[in-house]
Amino acid sequence: MSWTEVADGIHVRRYEELDLTVGLVLGGERCLVVDTRGDVNQGAELATAVRELTALPWAVVYTHAHFDHSFGTAPFLPCEVWAQAGCVTELAEHGDSERRKRAAQYREEGRPEIADALERTSITLPDHPVHDHAELDLGGRTAVLRHPGPGHTGHDLMVHVPDAGVVFAGDLVEHGPHGFTADSFGPDTHLAAWPAALGALLALEPRVVVPGHGEPVDAAFVRQHCDGLRMLASLKAAGVTPAEAIAASPYPADVTRAALASAGVN
């Protein structure tokens, strides 16, 4: 759990818990925190870590609504909280039930400290919704927030720092042992649309792509897994049997099954 500077004034921090990766973009007048971890204790740790690097006032952006990326915001308040408009709706409608579900899950796993923290966590709704595009002036540096269309969720938001060639991709990109993991695909995944979202990312010609989980990657990594997602979507659309899909897929069986079971198809 240490900061890695991937470009001038752009830092990433990777955690053992869920192999989560968060970010910090420094400007001349303020900074932007990219995702806030999964509960009030984890958010407080991250806020302290940010203060190790800078005393600049901060804003927060969520790459999407999943708990591990957006539930740790309370220790950063008061501040601007940015997210795609659909993320606001998702957190308002389902955030508290997701918090209770995750607390119960951690308690069943014998991890009461995280369960307790989740039970004390309050959901912070974004107060700066983004529909397609927004630009944040950090002072001598602009962070561009872009919704690339549906992919990992229907409300993914990328953070592009053009002067450095860095894109924070959230869970549009994951860097597990095989690229994606089974957890990459869920009921709010839009499998057939995901390659187009990655195409929008690649059109930015990034030098560094920071995934939502794992080490930073390059454009070639994203391109490889864009092709992999396209194949998974084709297999699902073709209605092949699970055995046929697993035989043809570039991913392990558990990842392929999860992708085929994801709800979104367009």
Q: Would the pLDDT of 263 be above 80?
A: no
- Name the strand (E) or helix (H) holding 220: helix 219-238
pLDDT of residue 158: 98
Q: What integer best gives the mean pLDDT of the chain?
A: 96
Q: For position 1, what pLDDT does the model report?
A: 75
Asked if residue 18 has pLDDT above 80, the reply is: yes
**Least trusted range by pLDDT, from 20-29, 47-56, 161-170, 239-248:** 239-248
Work out the average pLDDT over 56-82: 98
CATH class of 3-261: alpha beta
Mean pLDDT of 67-72: 98
Domain boundaries, the chain: 3-261
Task: Specify whether the CB–CB gap between 60 and 69 falls below 8 A.
Answer: no
Assign 265 a pLDDT band (cuts: 50, 70, 90): very low
User: Strand pairing partners for 60?
Assistant: 33, 81
User: What's the pTM?
Assistant: 0.96
Instruction: Round to whole Å and give the CA distance between 61 and 108.
Output: 31
